[in-house]
Amino acid sequence: MKYYSTNKNTPEVSLKEAVVKGLAADNGLFMPERIEAFDPSFFENIQNLSFQEIAYEVALKFFGEDIEAQKLHEIVFDTLSFDCPLVKVDGNIYSLELFHGPTLAFKDVGARFMARLLNYFLGKKEKQVNVLVATSGDTGSAVANGFLGVEGIHVHVLYPKGKVSRIQEAQFTTLGQNITALEIDGTFDDCQHLVKTAFLDKELNEKLVLTSANSINVARFLPQAFYYFNAYARLKEAGILENRELVVAVPSGNFGNLTAGLIAAEMGLPIQQFIAANNENDVVFEYLKTGKYQPRPSVETIANAMDVGAPSNFARILDLYQHSHKLINEKIKGFRYSDGEIREVIDRVYSETGYLCDPHGACGFQALKEFLSGQQVGVFLETAHPAKFTETVEAVIGSGKVELPEKLAAFMRGTREVKSLPAEYEQFRVYLLGMCF
């Protein structure tokens, strides 16, 4: 399968090249040349397959031409060593819990898949591979943990100083070994900009092997489609979908997760409606309303992983629907919540149902609550474990109520090691050049 750039100003590349390069040479994002739909019979019997079996069938559609079946099977089954269960929350609303992986956020799926695929493509590395990752909270830890201790790979995690939760920060600043945490004096968008600038720096790329582990990278982005199929299968298995339509709400920041869902729908997955649930960083919400896309600097919110002012994957959404505002508006409905509203939702859902949402999932839940009508079933993506935001959540429901899972407690016991940099490319470049040896 070939991959083209959303900017369409550079030749198509192979999967290997797309994965190793990360970003296209013309600054666009790679897209698969074909999105292959499943035969409808696949959906008739999907409930008989396990999560891993479903993911493998989906992976074959994306990567089957480029990776031997047995290897792909091994990568998928090894990646998905944890479940993504569906939990009933309230009436016809279900939570798709994506926080049962090693770092307790949905990123574990894509990051673990990408780490294994990169290893397969690069084999024994003659030159060190530098994985650059910009994070507003969760990507950094998932990628760092996915690549921890892998020989020949160094991960550089760029995060906005003071703008991620204490636990999120501990998850990528205490690992040591081949992981370096770079605290950037700026926003997530500044971090993402530094990373993208490095990929376009010809001289730097002649000296260093650089790749991205953000959703820019197709190997991180496409596997995020796996769990949409599984959610459908599990609902069908439980008989919940009979004569009812499925609506999926996705807490969105950089829009990689939602875009992977849109791709799943293009492959035939029967999702009637997608909802993009935003915090106050609402440039896509505004686009849906007005047709004008106007990225602007992000603002800090309590759903910090969605504090993105210029979502990378919007380019993929435009490309998928031929830049048609009308079509995009049909496919995606937008909802937006202030910090006050998010706190109110966490509190209400907890006291009425006993279910504890994290600040991101809370946006998805509330969007469904407002959108759903009688004949629909709603699933919101619970994108991270609430304990990753203990301070915020306990300030709402009362202290001492959020138990810290041992996986997170272990990160908190490590020693913090960070390197501070301004949000200026030149200094980041000098830092990277220090990696040449």
Residue 383, binding choice from ligand PLP, ligand LJ64HWYM, none, Cβ under 5 to 8 Å by partner class: ligand PLP
Confirm or reject binding of residue 211 to ligand LJ64HWYM (CB under 6 A).
no
Confirm or reject binding of residue 215 to ligand LJ64HWYM (CB under 6 A).
yes
DSSP assignment of 31-73 equals EES--PPPPHHHHHHGGGS-HHHHHHHHHHHHHTTTS-HHHHH
Q: Taking Cα atoms as reference points, which of 40, 10, 2, 46 lies closest to residue 28?
A: 10
Structure tokens at 427: 């200094």
CB 285 within 8 A of CB 336: yes
Task: Give Cα 341 to chain centroid, integer Å.
Answer: 23
Q: Taking Cα atoms as reference points, which of 320, 316, 367 lies closest to residue 341?
A: 367
Q: Which residue in the block uniquely carries the two structure tokens 């997170």?
A: 408
DSSP category for residue 23: B
Q: Which residue in the block uniquely carries the two structure tokens 């990752």?
A: 133
Q: Which residue in the block uniquely carries the two structure tokens 């950089």?
A: 254
Could you tell me the smallest distance in angstroms from the CB atom of residue 402 to ligand LJ64HWYM?
19
Confirm or reject binding of residue 253 to ligand LJ64HWYM (CB under 6 A).
yes
Between 119 and 383, whose beta carbon lies closer to ligand PLP?
Answer: 383
Measured CA to CA, the distance from residue 437 to residue 435 in angstroms comes to 6
Candidates 5-13, 136-144, 264-272, 323-331 — which segment interacts with ligand LJ64HWYM by CB under 6 A?
136-144
Between 169 and 229, whose beta carbon lies closer to ligand LJ64HWYM?
Answer: 169
Please identify which residue in 122, 182, 249, 306 interacts with ligand PLP, judged by CB under 6 A: 306
Confirm or reject binding of residue 214 to ligand PLP (CB under 6 A).
no
Confirm or reject binding of residue 387 to ligand PLP (CB under 6 A).
no
Please identify which residue in 136, 279, 298, 392 interacts with ligand LJ64HWYM, judged by CB under 6 A: 136
Between 261 and 350, whose beta carbon lies closer to ligand LJ64HWYM?
Answer: 261
Q: Taking Cα atoms as reference points, which of 195, 189, 217, 196 lies closest to residue 295?
A: 189
Query: Which 112-151 residues touch ligand PLP, going by CB under 6 A?
Result: 137-139
Between 216 and 367, whose beta carbon lies closer to ligand LJ64HWYM?
Answer: 216
Structure tokens at 261: 């869902």
> Distances from the Cα of 346 to the Cαs of 310, 361, 386, in angstroms?
27, 9, 10
Please identify which residue in 95, 130, 139, 279 interacts with ligand LJ64HWYM, judged by CB under 6 A: 139
Confirm or reject binding of residue 257 to ligand PLP (CB under 6 A).
yes
CB 213 within 8 A of CB 142: no
Catalytic (active site) residue 107: yes
Please identify which residue in 96, 265, 275, 305 interacts with ligand PLP, judged by CB under 6 A: 305
Q: Which of 61, 107, 161, 333 is catalytic?
A: 107
Which string of b and e fits 54-85 if b means at least 16 CB within 10 Å?
bbbbbbbbbbeebbeeeebbebbeebbebbbb
Confirm or reject binding of residue 312 to ligand LJ64HWYM (CB under 6 A).
yes
In the shown chain, the binding pattern of residues 259 to 298 toward ligand PLP, with x for contact by CB under 6 A and - for none, equals: ----------------------------------------
Structure tokens at 205: 């790329």
Could you tell me the smallest distance in angstroms from the CB atom of residue 47 to ligand PLP?
27
Tell me if residue 90 falls in helix, strand or coil. strand
Could you tell me the smallest distance in angstroms from the CB atom of residue 140 to ligand PLP?
10
Contact residues: ligand LJ64HWYM, CB under 6 A: 135-140, 214-215, 253-254, 256, 305, 312
Q: Annotated catalytic sites, by residue?
A: 107
